[in-house]
């Protein structure tokens, strides 16, 4: 195994997106007064491995469909440049899913069969997001699927792993996490919209176009950062959970600069906004207990 190539296929810049839901779910568990840090650490590792496996499955699926080319942006390039065989990449994806499943069994022992159900659902969602004759990633429902999987579902699984149950705070906080990760995918699809359209895909970014797509990014950042403030004002979250609003001026400024530059760096920028807002939300939940 070429570990350097494995790491390239893992797409390291995308991995913080899988850590944020775990951080928020763990913080929600801590705010409720019950936390198992060992289980939370296992959950974080499982989430990262699932993200890596999905990235590899995406690389394999897009190459097989002819969507990737040597000049494509945001891919590992292992297949289009001939550094790897498709079967090997597919095997590494399945291996990563398998390791995540085995580690997830630790959480099943600690927290019960609900973790098995959520783990299997996560693996199937990640795989079939890119697989099949009409994967969700090729439709306008991709952002909605990612919102659900890497927002409410992953935050809930993380809170169960860390604290044994889902709380109202975790549910309401998960909205911000899901909205922000959906914005990352939208930015990715805006960047790839021309080649995606040539490949027969019908993503939300293709339907919106670059101008309205950039406007939608702003809307998502506004929703994601103001939601915790509204929830805190309503007593659904602790007041400190409103900290993500600090990201709003910076985030909107970043998006304006992206629009001026053609949104080519959208994934990197939206990933940073997601990470900062998510960590502020996690810190706010933890501080809210104090």
Residue with tokens 């590899």: 56
User: Mind listing the pLDDT tens digit of every residue in the chain (290 residues)?
Assistant: 588 888 889 888 888 899 999 999 999 999 888 789 999 999 999 999 999 998 998 888 888 877 777 777 777 788 888 888 999 999 999 999 899 999 999 999 999 999 999 888 877 887 778 776 678 888 899 999 899 999 999 999 999 999 999 999 999 999 999 999 999 999 989 988 888 888 888 999 999 988 899 899 999 999 999 999 999 999 999 999 999 999 999 999 999 888 776 667 888 899 999 999 999 999 999 988 64
Q: Give the chain's length.
A: 290
The Cα 246–Cα 268 span in angstroms is 19
How much is the pLDDT for 289? 62
- Write down the pTM of the prediction: 0.91
| 3 located within any domain | no
- CB atoms near residue 71 (< 10 Å): 8
| 2 located within any domain | no
| 126 located within any domain | yes
Phi first, then psi, for residue 147 (nearest 5°) are -55, -45
176 Cβ partners below 8 Å, 6+ apart? 24, 224, 225, 227, 228, 244, 277, 278, 281
| 4 located within any domain | no
Q: Measure the CA angle with vertex 68, ends 64 and 72; round to 5°.
A: 165
Q: Is 64 exposed, middle or buried (0-12, 13-18, 19+ CB in 10 A)?
A: middle
Structural domain harbouring 264: 14-289
Alpha helices by DSSP H, listed for the chain, are: 3-10, 16-31, 37-64, 86-111, 113-128, 142-148, 154-163, 168-191, 193-198, 204-233, 248-260, 266-289
How far from 16 is each of 20, 47, 71, 106, 263, CA to CA, in Å? 6, 10, 25, 23, 20
Helix axes 168-191, 154-163, angle to 10 degrees: 140
How much is the pLDDT for 132? 66
Residue with tokens 């292992």: 78
* Overall number of domains in the chain: 1
| 8 located within any domain | no
| 145 located within any domain | yes
| Residue 153, both tokens | 């579902």
| 279 located within any domain | yes
How far from 173 is each of 122, 125, 147, 152, CA to CA, in Å? 20, 22, 13, 8
| 24 located within any domain | yes
How much is the pLDDT for 1? 59
């Amino acid at each position: 195994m070429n570990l350097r190539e494995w790491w390239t296929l893992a797409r390291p810049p995308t991995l913080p997106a899988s850590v944020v839901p775990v951080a928020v779910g763990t913080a929600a568990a801590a705010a409720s007064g019950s936390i198992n840090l060992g289980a939370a650490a296992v959950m974080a590792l499982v989430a990262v491995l699932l993200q890596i496996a999905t990235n590899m499955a995406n690389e394999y699926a897009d190459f097989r469909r002819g969507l990737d080319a040597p000049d494509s942006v945001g891919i590992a390039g292992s297949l289009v440049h001939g550094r790897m065989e498709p079967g090997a990449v597919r095997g590494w994806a399945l291996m990563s899913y398998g390791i995540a499943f085995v580690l997830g069994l630790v959480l099943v022992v600690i927290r019960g069969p609900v973790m098995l159900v959520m783990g299997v659902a996560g693996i199937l969602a990640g795989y079939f997001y890119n697989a099949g004759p009409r994967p969700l990633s090729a439709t306008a429902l991709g952002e909605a699927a990612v919102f659900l999987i890497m927002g409410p579902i992953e935050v809930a699984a993380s809170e169960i792993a860390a604290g044994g149950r889902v709380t109202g705070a975790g549910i309401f906080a998960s909205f911000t996490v899901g909205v922000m990760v959906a914005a990352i995918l939208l930015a990715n699809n805006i960047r790839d919209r021309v080649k995606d359209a040539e490949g027969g895909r019908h993503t939300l970014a293709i339907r919106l176009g670059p101008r309205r797509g950039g406007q939608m990014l702003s809307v998502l950042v506004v929703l994601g950062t103001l939601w915790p403030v509204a929830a805190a004002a309503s007593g659904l979250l602790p007041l400190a959970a409103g900290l993500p609003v600090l990201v709003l001026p910076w985030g909107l400024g970043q998006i304006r600069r992206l629009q001026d530059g053609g949104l080519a760096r959208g994934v990197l920028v939206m990933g940073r906004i997601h990470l900062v807002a998510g960590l502020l939300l996690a810190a706010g939940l933890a501080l809210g207990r104090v």
